[in-house]
Every structure is written in structure tokens, then in C-alpha cells.
């Protein structure tokens, strides 16, 4: 392994080396000049001192100018890489150095560039997917609105077109709401407006909110909720249950079953939502919390791929976690664990 010196030691060694080399070469030069210049010149000690001094300074400056280019090469490379990143090039990288501090700086810079490249990719994907998700329902609304203006439509056809327009309008409204909620959550670091409330009652209200959807598919709902109080932001946590229920209802076939349970485990609440729907493969499970990701690539199930992203971010904000169990054709189970919290936590 190469022996490494810290930046401070390297600078001390460098300065010491330049000083010694300058004095040695300067003394050698004055010694050689002694054969050319009259000896009476050197008999004057002051003149000899200044001659040695200026010779050493000149030589030291020359040596420093030459060696500094080698020592500062990693810094120059870093500056050049930073300029490239500023221009939008996230493929650059900086080579390491034998000096630990510069090695650490290069590693940190390379890590930063990789993170920026990932963020840029996510931003680009978000914009592309967002544009697509917004454009699709708008095109549908426009197309069916034009069909409604045509003569000769039956009342059944007109009603069908109006239903599609209403459905697509609701899809746009849901997408806008989820984007706004997600934006709000992503800019939030500390949850405020906390209160003590009944978590089981909140989940029951979420079931009532989703009642039109699960009733339309004739789903059987098995509810087993323990009475639990939690200290949190009720409006924020409500998004978790609504989005999880909405997702389960979408991917459960008509006549299926949903099992909803809530249990207290030590100082946490454990919520479990199990369905006997379509289930997911391993690839889908790895990406279901990504923005705009939809396991149903055929888009036979209406959605925008933001609900579960919002769920996970809220759960993390609440210092909880979510687990997913699923297999194709055997349904899925989402388990959420949230700390119950206490009003004393906010007392400083």
C-alpha cells in the first residue's frame, strides 16, 4: 500500500524540502561564483549574505513554481470537474490522491455528483410522467366533448360519453390533489398541529369515505379495530388510510374481500390491510412507492401512481414504517406501524 501523509504534514515536508534545496543550491552557486568573482567581494560578509539570500529566494521560487503544479493538480482537476457539473455534466468524476484529505474530498465530490445525477434523472422522469398523466385525461375529455357536439347521438351514447368525461375530470382532480399533497409533505420536516384522537375511529371514517368504491365492487370488508388513541396530525395521517384502501379496492376483483385490523404493540399502533386481489410480483413490490409507478402497465385500472408515494413519505415523517407482502394471484398485505406519541414530546 502507498504510504499516505496528511495535508498538513505534506505541506510542512514540501516547505522544508524547498528551503533546504534552495539553501544548498544557493550556497553551491555562490561557491562556484567565487571562482569567477574577485575574492574581495566575498570578504564583505554583508554582500555575501545578500548574495546567498537572493540566490536562495530565486531558486526557491523557481522550485516552488515547478513542484506546486504537481501538488495542486488534484485541486485543479476538482475545479475543472465542478465547472463541468455547473454546465450540467453529471458524468464527471475526480481521481483520488495520496493525501487523505484530498482523497476524502474527491470521494465526497464523486458521491455528490452521483446523487445529483440521480436527482436529475428523477426530476426528468417526474416531468415526463407528470406531463403524460395530465395529458391523457385532457385528450379524452376533449375527444368525447367533440363527439357530444355531433348530431345523431343516442341518449345512451351521450350518457356514456358524459360518464367518461366525468371520470376523466375526477382523475385530473385526484392527480392535482395528490401532487399538491406530495409537494406539501416533501417540504415538511416537522409535523405540526398534533392532537390526541381515536385512531380506530379515523380508520372507520376512511372506510366510510371509500364506501361507494368498495360497494360498487361488492367487496366484503372484515374490520377488527382495537380502540387506540394516537398523538399526531389527524389530517396528515388520514391520507395513509384513504390511499391504502383506495389502492386495495382498485386491485381486488368484484366479490373479493378486504381485511382491516388495528392492534397496539407496546408504544406503537400496527395497522394491517389484506386483500385477496391480483397481488404483485417482486419487481412491482420494489417500485410501488416510486412516483408515477403503476404495476398495471395496461392502465386497465385507473390511477396516477402517486398515492403510495404519498403514503410512504407521510409514514416516514411520522417516524413509522410500512411493509408489503404479496404474491401474484394471492393478494397483498400492507402493514403500517406508527408510534403512538405523546403530547409531552412537544414540551421543551
The CA distances from residue 142 to 27, 72, 159, 177, in Å, are 91, 62, 16, 21
**Across 314-334, average pLDDT:** 87
Per residue in 83-136, pLDDT (tens digit) is 888 777 777 777 766 666 677 777 888 888 877 776 666 566 666 666 666 777
Grid coordinates of 140: 379524452
Question: How many whole angstroms separate alpha carbon 342 and alpha carbon 92?
Answer: 48
pLDDT of residue 98: 65
Which pLDDT score, from 0 to 100, does residue 123 have? 64
Least confident of 40-49, 59-68, 328-337: 40-49
Residue 271, pLDDT score:
95
The domains located in the chain, with CATH, are 7-112 (no CATH), 126-186 (1.10.287.130), 197-346 (3.30.565.10)
Mean pLDDT, rounded, for 218-232: 92
- Give the pLDDT mean for 52-73: 66
Mean pLDDT of 148-173: 84
Amino acid at each position: 500500500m502507498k504510504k499516505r501523509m496528511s495535508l498538513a504534514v505534506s505541506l510542512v515536508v514540501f516547505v522544508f524540502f524547498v528551503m533546504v534545496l534552495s539553501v544548498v543550491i544557493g550556497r553551491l552557486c555562490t561557491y562556484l561564483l567565487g571562482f569567477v568573482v574577485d575574492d574581495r567581494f566575498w570578504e564583505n560578509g554583508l554582500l555575501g549574505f545578500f548574495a546567498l539570500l537572493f540566490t536562495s529566494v530565486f531558486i526557491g521560487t523557481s522550485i516552488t513554481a515547478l513542484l506546486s503544479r504537481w501538488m495542486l493538480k488534484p485541486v485543479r482537476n476538482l475545479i475543472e470537474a465542478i465547472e463541468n457539473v455547473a454546465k450540467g455534466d453529471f458524468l464527471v468524476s475526480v481521481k483520488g490522491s495520496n493525501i487523505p484529505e484530498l482523497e476524502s474530498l474527491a470521494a465526497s465530490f464523486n458521491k455528490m455528483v452521483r446523487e445529483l445525477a440521480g436527482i436529475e434523472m428523477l426530476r426528468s422522469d417526474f416531468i415526463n410522467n407528470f406531463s403524460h398523466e395530465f395529458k391523457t385525461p385532457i385528450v379524452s375529455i376533449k375527444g368525447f366533448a367533440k363527439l357530444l357536439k355531433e348530431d345523431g347521438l343516442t341518449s345512451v351514447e351521450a350518457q356514456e360519453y358524459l360518464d367518461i368525461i366525468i371520470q376523466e375530470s375526477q382523475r385530473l382532480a385526484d392527480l392535482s390533489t395528490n401532487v399538491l399533497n406530495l409537494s406539501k409533505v416533501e417540504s415538511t420536516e416537522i409535523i405540526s398541529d398534533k392532537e390526541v384522537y381515536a385512531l380506530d375511529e379515523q380508520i372507520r371514517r376512511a372506510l366510510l369515505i371509500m364506501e361507494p368504491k368498495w360497494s360498487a365492487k361488492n367487496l366484503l370488508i372484515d374490520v377488527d379495530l382495537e380502540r387506540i388513541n394516537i398523538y399526531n396530525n389527524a389530517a396528515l395521517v388520514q391520507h395513509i388510510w384513504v390511499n391504502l384502501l383506495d389502492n386495495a379496492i382498485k386491485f381486488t376483483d368484484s366479490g373479493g374481500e378486504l381485511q382491516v385490523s388495528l392492534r397496539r404493540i407496546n408504544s406503537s399502533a400496527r395497522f394491517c390491510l389484506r386483500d385477496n386481489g391480483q397481488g404483485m410480483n417482486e419487481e412491482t413490490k420494489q417500485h410501488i412507492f416510486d412516483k408515477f409507478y403503476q404495476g398495471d402497465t395496461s392502465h386497465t385500472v385507473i390511477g396516477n401512481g402517486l398515492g403510495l408515494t404519498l403514503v410512504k413519505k407521510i409514514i416516514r415523517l411520522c417516524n413509522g414504517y410500512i411493509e408489503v407482502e404479496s404474491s401474484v394471484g394471492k393478494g397483498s398485505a400492507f402493514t403500517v406501524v406508527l408510534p403512538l406519541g405523546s403530547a409531552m414530546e412537544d414540551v421543551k
